[in-house]
């Protein structure tokens, strides 16, 4: 059965392709940087592509956050409003990105620019997409150097205007769906439901990953999606890695919970895709049109 549910319900604009010499700014909108060596290795990889990378406020601390809300909000606002800045490279995830969205106004952004990260950065990426601008769910500066060359090249190719290959996982059936792709961390995305920063997910392909969530907590998160009606009008679901989900108490595995809560939705589902924590984290653009094949087990980004 083929399914296609209004993939154009949300208009999304890609920022201009990056060119050598473009200025990118690194900020930490969530947790403070813990591994300076990994962070610097990520910065150097971007610089090796010919980009200028400016680092802003990486050493700030406020509890578990990379500075106060006002400091982190100011760094983001400055990067967005500076016309010379072509993209924002997030240093790491952790927690705190959603706090910036409280009392936040995206009107500070004068032109579309790249926004790249994952995990806690999901809150910023999805809110940015609601404004009609596509970001990239992909490696942070703190994780980029750990990626294989193929994953690094995928990210660099996409932001410079190139095409990226389909991802292959395990198909659960359900035919083919075409819709706007919303990749993100399950827990962070769940906490956007009902807020002004939740994008319209009508006809969307949701792509979830997570780390450190016990099976019962994954169950709780997915049950909230079901009870809130947010799964009612989606086109399909793609699943990445759900790492460190084991618990000592016997019960369901994360895989069993995912199957139990998602297999009856009547949409194509593909699992075991190579994105998320603790492994290859292939870049996925946010809000662009994608095709999910639940029979062949593939997720492909449609041509720009």
The model's pTM is: 0.95
pLDDT per residue as tens, the chain (304 positions): 344 444 455 689 999 999 999 999 999 999 999 999 999 999 999 999 999 999 998 889 999 999 999 999 999 999 999 999 999 999 999 999 999 999 898 876 668 999 999 999 999 999 999 999 999 999 999 999 999 999 999 999 999 999 999 999 999 999 999 999 999 999 999 999 999 999 999 999 999 999 999 999 999 999 999 999 999 999 999 999 999 988 767 789 999 999 999 999 999 999 999 999 999 999 999 999 999 999 999 999 999 8
The answer to whether 119 is a known catalytic residue is yes
- Among 209, 271, 291, 298, the active-site one is 209
Q: Which of 30, 127, 277, 291 is catalytic?
A: 277
Task: Tell me whether residue 277 is one of the annotated catalytic residues.
Answer: yes
- Alpha helices, DSSP H, located in 30-101: 36-48, 69-81, 97-101
Please count the other Cβ atoms lying within 10 Å of the Cβ belonging to residue 196. Answer: 10
| Interatomic CA distance for residues 300 and 303, integer angstroms | 9
54 is catalytic: no
**Residues with Cβ within 8 Å of residue 268, at least 6 apart in sequence:** 3, 171, 172, 173, 174, 175, 176, 177, 235, 236, 237, 292, 293, 294, 295
Q: Which long-range contacts (CB under 8 A, 24 or more apart) does 258-265 make?
A: 258/218, 258/222, 259/172, 260/219, 261/218, 261/219, 261/222, 261/223, 261/226, 262/222, 262/237, 263/172, 265/231, 265/234, 265/237
Catalytic residue among 26, 30, 115, 119: 119
Proportion of the chain in helix, strand, coil states, percent, rounded to 5: 30, 25, 50
């Amino acid at each position: 059965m083929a399914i296609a549910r209004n993939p154009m319900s949300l208009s999304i604009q890609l920022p201009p392709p990056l060119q050598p010499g473009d200025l990118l700014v690194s900020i930490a909108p969530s947790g403070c940087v813990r591994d300076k060596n990994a962070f610097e290795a990520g910065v150097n990889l971007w610089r090796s592509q010919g980009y200028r990378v400016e680092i802003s406020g990486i050493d700030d601390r406020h509890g578990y956050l990379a500075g106060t809300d006002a400091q982190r909000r100011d760094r983001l606002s400055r990067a967005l409003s500076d016309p010379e800045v072509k993209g924002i490279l997030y240093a790491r995830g952790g927690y705190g990105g959603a706090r910036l969205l409280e009392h936040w106004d995206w009107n500070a952004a004068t032109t579309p620019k790249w926004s790249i990260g994952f995990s806690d950065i999901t809150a910023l990426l999805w809110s940015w997409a609601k404004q009609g601008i596509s970001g990239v769910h992909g490696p942070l500066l703190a994780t980029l150097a750990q990626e294989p060359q193929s994953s690094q090249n995928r990210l660099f190719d996409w932001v410079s205007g190139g095409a990226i290959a389909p991802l292959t996982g395990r198909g659960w059936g359900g035919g083919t769906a075409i819709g706007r792709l919303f990749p993100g961390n399950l827990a962070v995305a769940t906490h956007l439901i009902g807020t002004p920063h939740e994008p319209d997910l009508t006809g969307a392909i949701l792509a979830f990953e997570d780390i450190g969530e016990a099976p019962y907590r994954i169950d709780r998160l997915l049950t909230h999606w079901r009870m809130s009606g947010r799964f009612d009008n989606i086109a399909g679901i793609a699943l990445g890695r759900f790492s460190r989900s084991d618990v000592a108490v016997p019960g369901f595995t994360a895989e069993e919970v995912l199957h139990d809560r998602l297999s009856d939705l009547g949409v194509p589902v593909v699992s075991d895709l190579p994105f998320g924590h603790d492994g290859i984290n292939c870049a996925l653009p946010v809000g662009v049109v994608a095709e999910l094949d639940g029979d062949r087990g593939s997720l492909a980004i449609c041509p720009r």
